[in-house]
Amino acid sequence: MSGRERGDHGRAAGHGAAGAAHGAAAAGHAPGAEHTQAGPRTYLVIGAFLLLLTIMEVAVFYIAALAPVLVPVLIFLSLAKFALVALFYMHLRFDHVWFSYLFLAPFLIITGLAVSLLWLFGVFGTTGLRAAGGG
């Protein structure tokens, strides 16, 4: 088994501390830094939050008083669910912060564009359906 397969990243190949520093840098970690991952408890808590957000989405749909703000509330709740899934289940939370920026920035831009278009065409404050025969 080679040094790379054992995770030594250069120490076993006779490169000493320089090889270890290069191997850690190539792996995206600072020398001596430990890469932490979430445990099962974290994933259960995130799953519980996702379940809670799903229940809230269903409840918001059936509460008549929230009809004028139904679309923005559902968009906000879906963004919260997306962020939880992307950050934890896709492991963006544990990668370098730039990966999160590169992943979330275009999503936020397109979401802002979609919300702007919904507002522009008068979908907010309605059910999104036109009155029959009101053409």
The model's pLDDT over 76-109, given as tens digits with 9 standing for 90+, comes to: 898 889 888 877 787 777 778 888 788 778 888 9
Angle at 56 between CA 52 and CA 61, to 5 degrees: 155
User: Where in the chain are the domains?
Assistant: 1-35, 38-135
Please give the single-letter amino acid code of residue 114: A
Q: What is the pLDDT of residues 11-64, one digit of tens each?
A: 444 444 444 444 444 445 455 555 567 788 988 999 999 999 999 999 999 999
Closest to 84 (Cα-Cα) out of 46, 39, 43: 46
Do 70 and 123 form a contact (C-beta atoms < 8 A)? no
Global model pTM greater than 0.85: no
